[in-house]
Amino acid sequence: MTQSAPAPENTIGPRPERYIDIYRRATARLEACLPLGWSLSSDRPRSPEAPTRMLVSAPDGDTVSFSVVASRGVLSGDVARIAADLSDSDRGFVCAHYLSDPVRRQLDRHGISYADATGNLSLVADRPAVWVRDRGADADPWRGPGRPSGVLTGEPSDRVVRALADHVGEISVPELIKLSGASTGATYRVVEVLVERELVRRVPRGPIVEVRWEPMLRAWAAERKVCAVRRFTAPEGVTATRARLAERIDIPYALTGVGATDYAAPTLLEVYADDPDDFADSLGLRPVEHGGDVVVAIPWSPVVFERMDRRGGLRHAAVSHVYADLLTGPFRNDDAAEHVRSRLTADEHWRRPVR
């Protein structure tokens, strides 16, 4: 068991960019902190990728293998996914530019070893028994003033994520600014976050050439603000209320939740509306404290009303937004979310061409 003092920040050096360099920088201090007689080795990947496996060997020759997860940035919400991707018999080792204290605590809870390029590290194994821990920087030394927080929260994130999910094809950042309606500075900041989290791939100083829309929507759903909701009861029932709503063109709303899918017959009417009371009065709904069969959410941003679908006379939120709503928040339904995910993955014609 070894534990060292934090490294002086002026010895950290420039930020590594390639995965192989992130791995080498992150493991250099780990190797130096191993107990006497212990050693570290890995497979030989083709640069610029990091190794896929790392071996730690005890003096008697006994070894323990770790699956390497190299990333430019890891957030707390990513740790559960990393843990789920590991098999029950496998050990994980995460390396990154910088791992914040909340992320390190999450990795510790999941029993995942890690090291970042500033010297924060933890290596744990039962057989052969080893425990190595060290401290590096307490803040990201490469994050300057005005750099994005790394969290997909706020209206600019809503607009950029939705625009990227809803469109397919190579897209420049100026084109994304026009599609999303977000400001120039905010768009660039959100794109930087998405690139660092490997949710999109962008040519240096060039266009976005790949969008991993499913994990991007999943990350956005987990981190965006949760909408406040009001509950009502429909005296005539949900079916009759949906029929009345289809006849009204003067009520601004966007249908979401299970009722906006073909997963099952809706037992609830779940919608977005800027003014829940006005929406309820227009349809003769009665407010209730709990339960009810109509749930009205007040949207944080107007993006919920963009690129809506009209089916059966009803205005549905875009399927990308519906999918995100089914993942988390007041409209969450895990089974319906998986149903929608499989449909969207099987046929991506729901994504519109950029040009």
- Residue 257 identity (one-letter amino acid): G
For residue 7, the model assigns a pLDDT of: 46
For residue 355, the model assigns a pLDDT of: 80
Q: Is 284 left (phi over 0), alpha (psi -120 to 50) or beta?
A: left
Q: Which of 81, 102, 134 is the last residue of a domain?
A: 134
Residues 247 and 310 in one domain: yes
Residues 195 and 269 in one domain: no
CA distance 266 to 111: 41
Is 139 within the bounds of a domain?
no
- Averaged pLDDT, groups of 10, the chain, 355 residues long: 48 80 90 92 80 93 93 79 84 91 88 93 92 90 66 91 97 95 92 87 89 94 89 94 91 95 92 94 93 93 93 94 95 96 95 91
For residue 73, the model assigns a pLDDT of: 78
The domain that holds 175 is classified in CATH as 1.10.10.10
- Residue 204 identity (one-letter amino acid): P
Residues 196 and 305 in one domain: no
Tell me how far the alpha carbon of residue 130 is from its chain's centroid.
33
Residues 83 and 203 in one domain: no
User: Would you state the structure tokens that stand for residue 52, as one six-digit string?
Assistant: 């896929």
Residues 171 and 269 in one domain: no
Residues 47 and 100 in one domain: yes
Is 149 within the bounds of a domain?
no
For residue 216, the model assigns a pLDDT of: 94
Q: Could you tell me how many residues make up the chain?
A: 355
Three-point CA angle 220, 224, 226, nearest 5°: 135
Residues 236 and 261 in one domain: yes
Number of domains, the chain: 3
Is 224 within the bounds of a domain?
no
Q: Which of 134, 166, 190 is the last residue of a domain?
A: 134
Contact 212, 200 (CB under 8 A): yes
Is 91 within the bounds of a domain?
yes
For residue 1, the model assigns a pLDDT of: 53
Residues 171 and 90 in one domain: no
Entry pTM: 0.66
CA distance 80 to 122: 18
Residues 263 and 345 in one domain: yes
Is 200 within the bounds of a domain?
yes
CA distance 201 to 350: 21
Q: Which of 67, 101, 134 is the last residue of a domain?
A: 134
Is 105 within the bounds of a domain?
yes
Residues 237 and 334 in one domain: yes
Is 305 within the bounds of a domain?
yes
Count of alpha carbons within 13 Å of 160, Cβ hemisphere only?
34
Is 288 within the bounds of a domain?
yes
What is the span of the domain harbouring residue 340?
A: 229-349
Residues 195 and 235 in one domain: no
Here the contacts of 87-94 (C-beta below 8 Å, separation 24 or greater) are: 90/65, 91/64, 91/65, 91/66, 91/67, 91/125, 92/66, 92/67, 93/54, 93/66, 93/67, 93/68, 93/69, 93/123, 94/69, 94/70
Residues 239 and 342 in one domain: yes
Q: Is 4 left (phi over 0), alpha (psi -120 to 50) or beta?
A: beta
